[in-house]
Homo-oligomer: A and B are copies of this chain.
Amino acid sequence: MKIKAYKKDAEYTYTLGVFETIELLKNKPELVWRVYIKSNSYKNSGLKIIAQICQEQHIELIESDHTIEKLSKKENCFAIAVIKKYQMTLQEGNHVVLVNPGDMGNMGTIMRTMLGFHYRNLAIIRPGVDIFDPRVLRSSMGAIFHLRVEYFDSFADYIERFPDHDIYPLMLKGAKNIHQVQKDPKRNHSLIFGNESSGLPDDYLDYGQSIFIPHSHQIDSLNLSMALGITLAHFSKDEFKDRTVL
């Protein structure tokens, strides 16, 4: 079977790069159909690891400069793993909810930051970026393989599934300064963020406790991933504040 350039409705997707491919092989080897590597690149220590895992897991490993060039369109890609797309279902715990996210590059940063602060469940309210796009896989540097991501047709659908979560929509018009917000450590919470350009619509003011991050008026807003990072750091602080080393 020939692997074609990624399309949203394809059954498979692929990693582009050694680091992401190793993360995938370590975390979800059962999803991998096949791995392509560049010829004559066994000096790359990452490729040795890839070859070893493929052998242990009986995954087909093919040297094909042609396939790598076709899919990556870049010279500096040495490995590609083709994987079957998979369905994920959110579990209980603290959630991040992105309403209509549009930026692929942001998505990777967001996933890595979530993982950094122990958020492992991501809800995406449609329409939203395709998390299986190879560009998202790449920008997440493998973080996606540690998360559960589920799409919902509407925020109402999401709320119906998780009626007991404390809901915190992040909005410029939010009712409460984040520095004055204390989460209830006994309850699960959901942090809700809007689209990169337009933020959350006003009707989100009616859900739970809306929050703003105070900043100077010389900028319109913090960018989405920055707002998310600051919010996650705030909400997870109790877990991390007593550590004496990283």
Contacts and interface: CB of A to CB of B under 8 A. Distances in A.
A109 interface: yes
A175 to B, nearest CB: 9
Contact of A245 (B118, B212, B215): B212
Q: Work out how many copies of this chain go into the complex.
A: 2
Given A113-B222, A116-B222, A215 B174 contact: no
Interface in A117-155: 117-118, 143, 146
Nearest to A118: B216
A165 B116 CA distance: 31
Contacts of A241: 177, 179-180, 214
A246 B116 contact: no
B177 A115 contact: no
Contacts of A216: 115-118
Of A118, A173, A177, A246, most B-chain CB atoms within 10 Å = A246
A115 B219 contact: yes
Interface string A173-198: 11001011000000000000000000
A216 B239 CA distance: 10
A240 B215 contact: yes
A166 to B, nearest CB: 21
A179 B237 contact: yes
Contacts of A226: 109, 113, 225-226, 229
A179 to B, nearest CB: 4
Interface string A204-219: 0000000011111011
Given A109-B226, A226-B229, A229-B222, A116 B215 contact: yes
Interface of A: 109, 112-113, 115-118, 143, 146, 172-174, 177, 179-180, 212-216, 218-219, 222-223, 225-226, 229-230, 233, 237, 240-246
